[in-house]
Structure 1
Amino acid sequence: MSYKSIIVFAVVLIAVVGIGCGKAKNAEMQATTQLGTEPARTLPEGAIAFDYANHLYFDVMLRDSVAARMIFDTGNTNLLIDNKLFKEHFAPSETLQRTIIQGAGNSLEAAYRDTSDWTYRIGQHRQTEQGAIVMDLQKILGNEAEGMFGMEFMRGRKVEFNYADEYMRILPPEAQPEEGYICVKCKWLDGRQARMVMPISLKINDKVSFDGNFLVDMGSSGSISLNSSLVAKLKLNRVLTDVRKKIYDTGGVGGSRTDYLFVAEGISVAGCELKDVVADFSGNTQGMMAEDRFDGLIGNALLEHFDVIFDFAKCEIWLRPNKNFGTSIKYNSGMTLTPKEDCWVVNGLVEGGNAHRAGLQRGDAIISINGLSREKVNSRQLKRLDRSAEDWRVVVKRNDTTTEITFKKEKY
């Protein structure tokens, strides 16, 4: 599993720097107006809505009584429940056992496994699984995620994910993809037949091009991430010159993570080519990003360019370019922010980037962005704010000191 944050789309904000309290209040009102009210979505018959904010957020009902906000992750096989939700609704449990799990971080993570049966419902679809992982998930994803569900829910099914209109549909087994879809034959990562590996052609620059096999990971917010084992084989440290180092205090299950960002000249999949794609490679020595069974991860920032159908019975993925296809990623804050109740915590930070040079540090609590406080901005809106070209004026709390910092966005 992996959890990164590359955020898309643009929205215009009005930022006013170095002004009095009265004007600051007016700027907040203007910025809030710019966020606007999101229109209601019209879904096709049988569709289940999700919110796409780097991850896919679903409303899930656990054991017919507990509502939870959960993320879908193809890199995850088991039901995963945040320990806060578990303690509030399901503890104590005699079936809880200690365990160790591995993910995108650079080490192993202590967790618990509840060995009892777990039934949950998404839309009208019910699923029962033997056991669930219980861990501090909000440490990684923030307070808008209370759990994750993964490939066990999809096993044997044909499932459509519409990133542009934000819905999922469970399709009949006999349903055929509509016109424009192209089939990509995939492979199972291992004998459990739980995780898919997809072939991708990647042109890094004029010197390096290769065909690789990448784990499809809808728990990853990035586009394409190269494992450190592949980096060593291709000697990318010698080939790439314009690389930006990004360090995460919590880079997924397993703790800290170091990524190196670069712009790949092109990625080809299903006969379609995306140009100038922001990608990254891992500096981890342990965990999933150091694996050699596959070359890296394919995440949501790549998949969002397509309508996607997973045929989990046949190990196939069908792709069709959608209305977002080819939309380039031009700006971001250079930070990955973890949402808390009253702030965002700076979890990942580009070293030497504009935010870093302006004075921001990992672990800082951001109280507001361009006059907008945490309670006024959900994760979908934050995604748009982050991809806007607008400078950010942030109010930062560090220890007992509060300060205001203004910086320009990173441009790719």
Structure 2
Amino acid sequence: MRKTFCFIALLGGLSLPQSRAALPDGALPFIFDSHLYLQATLNDTVHASIIYDTGADFLYLDKDFLELNHLQEAFGRKGTARMGGAGNSDPQRVDIFIDPIKIRCGELDYQNKITPIIGLRDILGRYIDGLLGNTHLLQAPLMINFSESYMAPLAEPLPPDSLAGYHKLEARFEENRIDIKARLQIDSANVVEGWFRMDIGSGSTVSLTHETTSTLHLDPVPKAYFTTQAGGVGGGAEEVTIRAARFCMADTLENLVMDCSLNEKGALSFDRPYLGIIGNEIWSLYDIVLDPLHASVWVKRNQDKGTYSQSSTTHMAIVDRTDIGDGWIVNGLYKGGIAEQAGMEIGDTIIAINGRPVKEISWEEQRKGLGLKGTTRYTVRKANGKTVTYELFVQKPII
């Protein structure tokens, strides 16, 4: 994280140093950890850590957050609904609260009409309680300032000097979503240009839909195959990770690590009004102004050098579930990577790294990165309850 702020009610009990700079009136400070973590209060009494997701509409709550805090019945009557997401499955039936829930986020007050209950922590880990979409947070112009880690509603019309130094992107706002014109060049034979969906609910760089992927000639392109059990609300996902020569939006990014979806269903499959999605490894490089009233997106490059050219060195994906167990769950693996070769399986629970229990590793340390290199010992509990130790030689990125 670039800069930290002092919170009254801290996310996950984490203590952060106070920022030197004062925030604008009405600002919503966030912690950036691939996603934008905000503080909210539900029905005046329940504190929750939520993320902003431009790929969503309203409030969604995590099922384990409700169960662990004995809140299953706290928000009134329940019903059911079907909903899909980025995962590779058909829309699934989920429980919903059908009584309105009041939401206070900073100085903004909303009322949610229906609230789905979904498995967010299975995807993002123990520090998320819910997510909030565009219906509430994007009613007026909104600044997302990655330089100082805050969001802030802006006056309408925008003050003349508020966009100094910003670049206006070609954008469209349709059905509560935001699309951006961009150009992706993988190599001389593979160029994709058109509309990409802005997805601040994604922690990735660029992810192409399966339909877009199927138009490319990727046989000679170095690639790594990835499978996860938590690709989104819709379940698991399959994709290939590759490098692209350049991505052009406001400016040009070179040597980009990106994903090509192989999903047959869900938001990254076929028949989508976009070529792919743009996630926070790209958006965090800019300070952003979203103006829904004029269908405008403005960006200004910040000082963050970014991680868009880096790929996994452990060749697996993990999620912290020490809220319900003893460790971190392996929820994704690269085919033929060092983790899979050592014997790691999706669903394994990592309980210690180099002899250190992962329960002792704070969220702040996780966000900074563990700096693992060379021979690394993972103590793992298998699905059958057996505990084993795997040694991985952490050195080369997967792609």
CA RMSD of aligned residues (A): 2.3
Supply the distance in 2 between the matched residues of 1:57 and 1:378 (Cα, whole angstroms): 16
Supply the distance in 2 between the matched residues of 1:115 and 1:403 (Cα, whole angstroms): 47
The one-character-per-residue Cα deviations of 1:187-208 (angstroms, maximum 9, x if unpaired) are 134xx3x111111111111212
The one-character-per-residue Cα deviations of 1:108-165 (angstroms, maximum 9, x if unpaired) are 2221222221211111211112111112322222221111111112233111112233
Q: Match of 1:204? A: 186
Q: Match of 2:350? A: 366
Supply the distance in 2 between the matched residues of 1:169 and 1:131 (Cα, whole angstroms): 25
Q: Match of 2:77? A: 95
Q: Match of 1:236? A: 217
Q: SS where residue 164 of structure 1 aligns?
A: coil
Q: Is the 8 A contact 2:86 2:233 kept in 1?
A: yes
Structure with greater helix percent: 1
Which residue type is aligned with residue 337 of structure 1? I
Classify 1:218/1:326 alpha carbon distance in 2 versus 1 (closer, same or farther; 3 Å): closer
Q: Is the 8 A contact 1:282 1:289 kept in 2?
A: yes
Supply the distance in 1 between the matched residues of 2:183 and 2:73 (Cα, whole angstroms): 47
Q: SS where residue 136 of structure 2 aligns?
A: helix
Which residue type is aligned with residue 278 of structure 1? V
Which residue type is aligned with residue 18 of structure 2? A
Q: Match of 1:15? A: none
Supply the distance in 1 between the matched residues of 2:167 and 2:253 (Cα, whole angstroms): 16
Supply the distance in 1 between the matched residues of 2:344 and 2:395 (Cα, whole angstroms): 13
Per the normalisation by structure 2, the TM-score is 0.86
Match of 1:340 among 298, 317, 321: 321
Q: SS where residue 301 of structure 1 aligns?
A: helix
Moved more, 156-165 or 286-295: 156-165
Show the 5 A alignment for 1:123-142: 123-142=106-125
Quote the offset at 1:369 in angstroms.
Answer: 3.1
Q: Match of 2:264? A: 285
Show the 5 A alignment for 1:304-323: 304-323=284-303
Q: SS where residue 317 of structure 1 aligns?
A: strand
Supply the distance in 1 between the matched residues of 2:304 and 2:391 (Cα, whole angstroms): 33
Q: SS where residue 134 of structure 1 aligns?
A: strand
Q: Is the 8 A contact 1:197 1:294 kept in 2?
A: yes
Q: Is the 8 A contact 2:227 2:236 kept in 1?
A: yes
Match of 1:262 among 239, 242, 251: 242
For structure 2, the residue ranges without an aligned partner over 5 or more in a row are 3-14
Supply the distance in 1 between the matched residues of 2:170 and 2:344 (Cα, whole angstroms): 44
Quote the offset at 1:262 in angstroms.
Answer: 0.4
Per the normalisation by structure 1, the TM-score is 0.84
Q: Is the 8 A contact 1:306 1:325 kept in 2?
A: no
Which residue type is aligned with residue 254 of structure 2? K
Q: 2:104 matched to 1:121? A: yes
Match of 1:68 among 48, 52, 57: 48
Classify 1:77/1:410 alpha carbon distance in 2 versus 1 (closer, same or farther; 3 Å): farther
Q: Is the 8 A contact 2:351 2:379 kept in 1?
A: yes
Q: 2:385 matched to 1:402? A: no
Classify 1:407/1:163 alpha carbon distance in 2 versus 1 (closer, same or farther; 3 Å): farther
Match of 2:228 among 214, 238, 248: 248
Moved more, 141-150 or 329-338: 329-338
Q: Match of 1:41? A: 19
Supply the distance in 2 between the matched residues of 1:184 and 1:312 (Cα, whole angstroms): 13
Supply the distance in 2 between the matched residues of 1:410 and 1:218 (Cα, whole angstroms): 29
Q: Is the 8 A contact 1:337 1:345 kept in 2?
A: yes
Q: Is the 8 A contact 1:183 1:319 kept in 2?
A: yes
Classify 1:378/1:109 alpha carbon distance in 2 versus 1 (closer, same or farther; 3 Å): farther
Q: SS where residue 313 of structure 1 aligns?
A: helix
Quote the offset at 1:339 in angstroms.
Answer: 0.9
Moved more, 151-160 or 300-309: 151-160
Classify 1:201/1:395 alpha carbon distance in 2 versus 1 (closer, same or farther; 3 Å): same
Q: 2:365 matched to 1:381? A: yes
Quote the offset at 1:371 in angstroms.
Answer: 4.8
For structure 1, the residue ranges without an aligned partner over 5 or more in a row are 1-7, 10-36
Q: Is the 8 A contact 1:157 1:312 kept in 2?
A: yes
Q: Match of 1:276? A: 255
Moved more, 166-175 or 196-205: 166-175
Quote the offset at 1:406 in angstroms.
Answer: 2.8
How many residue pairs match? The answer is 372
Match of 1:145 among 128, 139, 153: 128
Which residue type is aligned with residue 338 of structure 1? V
The one-character-per-residue Cα deviations of 1:62-111 (angstroms, maximum 9, x if unpaired) are 11100011111111112101123445225176631111111011112221
Supply the distance in 2 between the matched residues of 1:383 and 1:163 (Cα, whole angstroms): 15
Q: Is the 8 A contact 1:156 1:311 kept in 2?
A: no
Q: SS where residue 213 of structure 2 aligns?
A: helix
Classify 1:112/1:328 alpha carbon distance in 2 versus 1 (closer, same or farther; 3 Å): closer
Classify 1:138/1:331 alpha carbon distance in 2 versus 1 (closer, same or farther; 3 Å): closer
